[in-house]
Chain A
Amino acid sequence: DGGITQSPKYLFRKEGQNVTLSCEQNLNHDAMYWYRQDPGQGLRLIYYSQIVNDFQKGDIAEGYSVSREKKESFPLTVTSAQKNPTAFYLCASSISGIALTDTQYFGPGTRLTVL
């Protein structure tokens, strides 16, 4: 069963803590992405990676960090520097991230709440 998995589905964080959101794909896609979704707003790009061991900042990277050590995995760490981290986080992947015909496939999301 191919697809993208995200865990956990719900995550609660105390202020000042770092937390890591997991994203795994078995689609053999080169490119992976992290988005943030707030109520009434569209998705905003946090980070993306077009190939293993390489990643670029998106539009709202401050307070977040990522790694891409394996093709299948693209974890996102929400650090204490992120001022307003409560949101719905979505991970996506695409075949190459370069070809203009690629569509992005999304995981089910992780809802992060800061207590």
Chain B
Amino acid sequence: KQEVTQIPAALSVPEGENLVLNCSFTDSAIYNLQWFRQDPGKGLTSLLLIQSSQREQTSGRLNASLDKSSGRSTLYIAASQPGDSATYLCAALHGSSNTGKLIFGQGTTLQVKP
């Protein structure tokens, strides 16, 4: 059974710091891995999607990497800002190519202090 874990559950950093959020999964047979952002009491916004054949994806100050062999993905945030404060969730698409399901981690809640 696929399990996705995010550690730590919470992280607090000063503004301007570069930081890395971690995501690990137990079954390397994934089709893709996605990173989402969730603001308090809101829905999820997709940040980056990495296909299983890719190593990384970049969008602005965000860079996500994927290492299937070690069962790990990281989300790198450069020059963090208070507006980056939110919960970040990773999700692995697992199963068959026609009925794959997203398996979510518990999330890391990030606070960026001014």
**Cβ A41 vs Cβ B106 within 8 A:** yes
Task: Tell me how far the C-beta of A4 lies from the nearest C-beta in chain B, rounded to whole angstroms.
Answer: 8
Interface size range of chain A in the complex: 20 to 34
Q: Which residues of B contact A104 (CB under 8 A)?
A: 34, 44, 46, 102
Q: Which residues of B contact A41 (CB under 8 A)?
A: 106
**Cβ A103 vs Cβ B43 within 8 A:** no
Q: Is B101 an interface residue (CB 8 A)?
A: yes
Q: Which residues of B contact A45 (CB under 8 A)?
A: 101-102
Q: Tell me the complex Cα distance, A106–B34, Å.
A: 13
Q: Which residues of B contact A105 (CB under 8 A)?
A: 46
Q: Is B61 an interface residue (CB 8 A)?
A: no
Interface centre among B4, B43, B46, by most A CB within 10 Å? B43
Task: Tell me how far the C-beta of B51 lies from the nearest C-beta in chain A, rounded to whole angstroms.
Answer: 7
**Cβ A42 vs Cβ B101 within 8 A:** no
Q: Is A108 an interface residue (CB 8 A)?
A: yes
**Cβ B49 vs Cβ A101 within 8 A:** yes
Q: Among B14-22, B78-86, B91-99, which stretch is in contact with chain A?
A: B91-99
Q: Is A100 an interface residue (CB 8 A)?
A: yes
